[in-house]
Structure 1
């Protein structure tokens, strides 16, 4: 096999022996990088970041007088919690949806968070 043949065979064997979650994470990570987003695992507190990933969960958190909508975005490398203050619902923000989010990263209770991020719903 030539230079490309060995690489193809390695990728094929990896796809056949990897579990679905691992393959999905690799796919999400590749798509995020292709769109110019940073990998969530590389983002640090205080940085202005753009991340792309799939929403794992979306929940209304009325912990105080102001309701907050929280969604966990996963890009295949790490999770980022998106928090919209004063929102009960945002059309299109639902589990399974892929979005691009941009904002200044913070850390709350050891988790990466974007407060009131700019976002774009993705078609795929």
Structure 2
């Protein structure tokens, strides 16, 4: 990659929407680590993905308690649901994580219940 490639990237960074750039960055990092793309995962697949948490909320309906997080890997969004938990240390918006679990679908949305997860260091 020569100077022209650098100039193109710089021009793109200055003119393109920040959300698009963020999406590209997340997807590039995820692919570099060899993770599966959320967009390619189907219901019933055992998947290992790397991405970031966009939102995290605690659900405290009368009988259903748990933590829900919106996971994004640059290609698609997956809802992560930890049942029976009121809080999970380190699970917070903006945090980069690796998740592994079986993909389900609920109302057209991809969901992983009680996923195995690894928090990445805050420097990543």
Calculate the TM-score normalised by the size of structure 1: 0.89
Tell me the equivalent position of 1:84. 82
Unaligned residue ranges in structure 2 (runs of 5+): none
Q: Distance in 2 between matches of 1:20 and 1:29?
A: 14
Match of 2:14 among 2, 11, 16: 16
Q: 5 Å matches for 1:48-59? A: 48-59=46-57
Q: Distance in 2 between matches of 1:46 and 1:103?
A: 10
Tell me the equivalent position of 1:116. 114
Unaligned residue ranges in structure 1 (runs of 5+): none
Tell me the C-alpha RMSD between the 2 structures: 1.5
Equivalent residues, number = 122
* 1:51-81 Cα shifts (integer Å, max 9, x gaps): 1111111111123424111000111221111
Q: Distance in 2 between matches of 1:120 and 1:19?
A: 30
* 1:30-55 Cα shifts (integer Å, max 9, x gaps): 11111111111111111111111111
Q: Distance in 2 between matches of 1:64 and 1:44?
A: 31
Q: Displacement of 1:82 after TM fit? A: 0.5
